[in-house]
Amino acid sequence: MRVIAGTNRGRKLSAPPGISTRPTSDRVKEALFSILASRIDFADIRVLDICAGTGSLGIEALSRGAGLCCFIECNLSVKAILEKNLLVTSNLDRSEIVTMDAVKALHVIAGRGQRFDLAFLDPPYDSELYQSVSEALDAAALLKPGAILVAECSVRNPLRESYGRLQRFDRRVYGETALELFIQEEK
């Protein structure tokens, strides 16, 4: 697993042993960021990486010029690997790690008045978090109008067309992985 482009291009990222996390493959990440690059100027955007795991997606956004990434990861041993990856890529100063349940973390972040331009959601494929996190993002108004949410899920379990003002605008399939892209509509 590596950073695809930007200031950290080619840097290798660590992953925990075993199958407790499922980092996004380089092929899927490359395709995703190609799609995003046609829609987003990464310069100084604010990114939210939910169920961050190794931080691969948020780090890729930082490498491409994002100003800040808030990583949410509840597993303490995985958090240590995320911190190592942020250190290796020199991105600690533009990062925040929130270590708690994803939905609780979103409410804490919303209480600070933070809003984001891009969000990644990559929980375990069999997780119930897709719906609860998507609904919490919408209810807490954490995404700016026009912001994009990218949800990585199993191809066998497509997500809903919408979650409040989050409307799906694209779905791409890569083997067993589906990328579902949503846009935050105006109120």
Residue-wise pLDDT for 98-111, tens only, equals: 999 999 999 999 99
Confidence of residue 22 (pLDDT cuts 50, 70, 90): low
Domain 26-184 has CATH 3.40.30.10: no
Neighbours of 105 (CB within 10 A): 21
Give the separation between CA 57 and CA 160, rounded to whole angstroms.
22
**Nearest one of 57, 68, 83 to 3, comparing CA atoms:** 57
Neighbours of 94 (CB within 10 A): 16
Confidence of residue 18 (pLDDT cuts 50, 70, 90): low
Give the separation between CA 49 and CA 63, rounded to whole angstroms.
14
**Distance from CA of residue 113 to its chain's centroid?**
19
Query: Which strands sit side by side in the sheet containing 46-50, from one edge to the other?
Result: 95-98, 68-72, 46-50, 116-121, 143-154, 177-184, 166-174, 162-163
Give the separation between CA 54 and CA 22, rounded to whole angstroms.
9
187 forms beta bridges with none
**What integer best gives the mean pLDDT of the chain?**
92
Give the pair of three-digit tokens for residue 49. 């990486």
pLDDT at position 17 is: 77
Helices 26-37 and 56-63 pack at an angle, to 10 degrees, of: 40
Overall average pLDDT of the 12-38 stretch:
83
Confidence of residue 50 (pLDDT cuts 50, 70, 90): very high
Overall average pLDDT of the 10-17 stretch:
88
